[in-house]
Structure 1
């Protein structure tokens, strides 16, 4: 199976660090997050990878080269103008002729990729979204009311939401939704599919998932030992 790693973003949430380095090259310990991601794909049997680049893409190409050092074949695309999170796939129409993976270039996870792909094929949908639960603290007191009368109150509650992990399995037919040469986001794709009544499947993951684009997750990743055999080991276990 082929994989597309999206690396064209500007990493605004990690400024000023990403003024110098593109987000996928941010260091996790002694290694860039993109290297850890590529090694994770290789361990899961992926050897053909496309990396979409834009902002500071020359640094990504210089670091990863053709991927031979990881026994991976890497091909690059370059955005002249930002194409959003899904728009860059339009540059790969001819190459994406079988089910493929799409993932953000700033995530780390121990998701079982074989089970993810198996679930996608089992359900027969054009799109499967890997999802996880994230908790966020509401900054306001939340009112519960009926017909203008308060029936309950929670002071800055912690809310649980099921969110996209930035990791997808797609069938080639999905390219029919992706326009060429214009910005097109993942939200645009999902909304178009829902409007057309096209089923979308989710794969629930309850293990490790870090979005390195968030400062909190970036710092959390520094406390995890990453080795060659296991996607992630807690520091205590690694010791």
Structure 2
């Protein structure tokens, strides 16, 4: 068990999806425990349940009643660690609630606490070649990925987070002031990992640099922009990608935008309806992807290509492209205000 952190993951059945998402992000154990007002165990809602709900069109205000797994895998308090570990492996689950004979929650077994994080052979490619013009003056004499947040370059935060999940082989695509990135990270030995570089002679876009990889990986790649600060689990993205037999998977964020004006619907000059300050909901590209190695052969070497264009090419070729709805904290550090927000986020996380 993870100390008593499971207590913070308990929510009432009348919660909405937004409240579950906040809890999942805050407690960070990928599951919410649902209990009645009298303390009786009702069921669970997992991180995956939320993603599936968002894909079905539910929103943050939707009630959770239909999402609750009311018959999850549970164990009594007297089941030992080794047995729990075997149960998790056999059933491919990462959390098992501990429920007593009175149907009360006594604790939670977590895979992360029972087993060490497996090493992943997958290559992670980080796009680190942008000029970061919107971050001037921070990037005037410093490449954007080396801009410091909480005492470290944002690129180092990305690498360290990926290392915690077992990733050890990184390829950095560099262009603007790329020599400074190479001088800082070297071959990766300082960070106890392997780092290689792709040198873009000209900016090649968010996908074009992949054409410079001179070998065909044997496992899917993770590709991420070098300015995205997030708590996403890259391993979960890869597992989702594999589970759905996808050729390319794009992590997406649910975005809501409130129109500040009343909207008038018309047919010609006739008014047919009104909607007061409607809320528009859509998915936005989060700048993180999982790709099959076969995708690399679809790129022309040294030709500019952005990820949406590559995804369109993959789809038009008849291969499967899917989205991975993420709810984890995410920030694209594009302007100085974003840098300040990222600083506050990482400062808070380190306390």
Structure 1 length-normalised TM: 0.87
Cα distance, 1:186 vs. partner?
0.9
Distance 1:200 1:42, change over 3 A: same
Distance 1:143 1:17, change over 3 A: farther
* 1:152 aligned residue: 274
Alpha-carbon distance between aligned partners in 1 of 2:262 and 2:298, rounded to the nearest angstrom: 41
CA drift of 1:163 comes to 1.1
1:19 correspondence with 2:136: no
CA deviation profile, 1:142-201 (whole Å, cap 9, x unmatched): 44333443322545x653321111111110111132111211111211222232332211
Q: Which residue of 2 aligns with 1:132?
A: 253
1:194 to 315, 325, 339: 315
Do residues 74 (structure 1) and 195 (structure 2) align?
Answer: yes
Residue 218 in structure 1 maps to residue 339 in structure 2: yes
Query: CA shift at 1:94, angstroms?
Result: 1.1
Kindly provide the CA deviation profile for residues 186-223 of structure 1, in whole angstroms up to 9, marking residues without a partner as x.
12112222323322111111111111124443221111
Query: What residue ranges of structure 1 are gaps of 5+ in the alignment?
Result: 227-234
1:81-104 deviation line (CA, Å, top 9, x unaligned): 111111110110414342111111
Cα distance in structure 2, aligned partners of 1:26 and 1:140? 38
In the alignment, structure 1 residue 28 sits paired with structure 2 residue 142: no
Deviates more, 1:109-118 or 1:82-91: 109-118
- The aligned length equals 229
Please tell me whether the aligned partners of residues 24 and 32 of structure 1 are also in contact (alpha carbons under 8 angstroms). Answer: yes
- Whether 1:205 and 2:317 are equivalent positions in the alignment is no
Aligned equivalent of 1:58, options 179, 199, 203: 179
Q: In the aligned structure 2, how far is the partner of 1:72 from the partner of 1:95?
A: 20
Q: Which is bigger in relative contact order (C-alpha 8 A, separation at least 6)?
A: 1
Partner of 1:42, secondary structure, is helix
What is the root-mean-square deviation of aligned Cα atoms in Å?
2.1
Range moving further from structure 2, 91-100 or 124-133: 91-100
Seen in structure 2, the aligned counterparts of structure 1 residues 33 and 174 have a Cα distance that, compared at 3 Å, is: same
Contact 2:248/2:311 (8 A) holds in 1: no
Match of 1:100 in 2: 221
> SS where residue 187 of structure 1 aligns?
helix
Distance 1:142 1:21 in 2: 45
Contact 1:22/1:60 (<8 A) preserved? yes
The 5-angstrom pairing of residues 106-117 of structure 1 reads 106-117=227-238
List runs of 5+ in structure 2 lacking aligned partners.
1-121
The DSSP-based 3-state class of the residue aligned with 1:174 is helix
Q: Which moved more, 1:138-147 or 1:73-82?
A: 138-147
Tell me the TM-score normalised to structure 2 length: 0.61
Deviation at residue 238 of structure 1 after TM alignment? 5.1
Paired with 1:85 and 1:95, the residues of 2 have a C-alpha distance of: 19
Higher-Rg structure is 2
How far residue 105 of structure 1 moved from its aligned partner, in angstroms, is 0.6
Match for 1:162 among 283, 294, 313?
283
Q: Is the 8 Å Cα contact of residues 247 and 291 (structure 2) preserved in structure 1?
A: yes
